[in-house]
Amino acid sequence: MSIKLLYGEETYLLETKLKRLKKDFGELVKGINYIQIDETNVSELISDIETPAFGFERKLIVARNTGLFKKAKKTAKGQELAMINLAKKIAEYIEENNSLINEAVELIFVEEEAERNELYKAIEKYGEVIEFPLLKLPGLIENVQKICAAYKVKIDNSTAKYFIESCGTNMQDLINEIRKLIEYVGANGVITKQEVDLLSIKQIDSVIFDLTDNLGKRDTRKAMEVLNNLIYEKEPIQKILITLYNHFKKLYIVKEASKTGKDLAGAMKLKPNQMFLTNKYRMQAGYFSEEEIENILEEFINLDANYKVGLIDINVGLEAILCRYCS
């Protein structure tokens, strides 16, 4: 099919698909048989479709983040209204000229989001719509294991899960980190938690889980060690404070949701690829009473306010709060 819409938040898989389509197309010469369209020149799209690819049988047009698939507002005016009308015009053009497009053009729309408007439906009817949603944990594990297998390296399910929990759910970040581990263990090697801890750059959210575990277990030494490692790795102390605040805010939401029976993932606004975190949040909330969490949140707020007016050193204040709840 010559008309495609690729969209979604899983940008790595989307871009991989786009690269494959471009490779399959063959030789590309910018401005001749390879045309790039964006929001600034999308009004020229129909003209570009109709312009012959001199010296080539077909041309590839990639229209990226054009604004054509944004949700239409009832009060749309000016530029927004013009974009809505343009989307309708292109949809009508596809309806009337899809045979011509199939013969002469490979037309690919690439978007982060896509509202199911007239243009979307026209592409769906005469071409192909492919969504790339964020991968859930099983999909992430499967992709990590596939990448390892391609280099004859093994990683079991529990280690892959631990790796994802440590390094995040962004496929591009995971690939960057898994490549280091693959190179380290070599062909026919096995990646274990030891290699993950040794070589992987853990996301701050993952480290905050470790810090909270130590707080919950009242292990002052380990809690301070995790905090000092974050500071040593040059994580801004203000960012650490904000991340801790947001983390304990989620623990408070867990407490509230358990009382009301509210859906936990919905209450915490977790994305589909973060659903596996619900059990971790639930477990950590069990370390603290609701009153303790409220007090910790209040102390974080007071520390931030006092630090900004120069009444306290933020490092000392944060250490004091953590030590108080470890004791």
Are residues 75 and 30 part of one domain?
A: yes
Question: In this structure, are residues 319 and 281 in contact, taking their beta carbons and an 8 Å threshold?
Answer: no
Tell me: do 190 and 223 sit in the same domain.
no
Give the C-alpha separation, 207 to 192, whole Å: 19
pLDDT (mean) for 289-301: 93
Where in the sequence is the domain holding 168, given as residue range(s)?
Answer: 137-199
186: CATH: 1.10.8.60
122 and 146 in one domain? no
Q: Higher model confidence: residue 133 or residue 270?
A: 133
SS3 24: helix
- The CA distance from 238 to 314, in Å, is 8
For residues 103 and 64, state if they share a domain. yes
- 170 and 250 within one domain: no
| Tokens 């209040």 sit on residue | 298
Task: Decide which of 80, 104, 131 is a domain's last residue.
Answer: 131
The predicted model scores a pTM of 0.73
CATH number reported for the structural domain that contains residue 102 in this entry: 3.40.50.300
Q: Which of 96, 131, 166 corresponds to the end of one domain?
A: 131
Tell me how many domains the chain contains.
Answer: 3
When pLDDT is averaged across residues 94-109 and rounded to a whole number, the result is 92
Q: Where are the alpha helices (DSSP H) in 155-311?
A: 157-167, 171-185, 193-199, 204-216, 220-232, 237-260, 264-267, 278-285, 290-308
Say if residue 94 is in the same domain as residue 209.
no
**Which string of DSSP letters, residue by residue, matches 74-124?**
TT--HHHHHHHHHHHHHHHHHHHHHHHHHHHEEEEEEES-----HHHHHHH
Last residue of a domain, one of 107, 131, 155: 131
Say yes or no: 94 and 27 in one domain. yes
Does residue 155 sit in helix, strand or coil?
A: coil
Band (61; pLDDT cuts 50, 70, 90) = very high
Residue 270's pLDDT is: 82
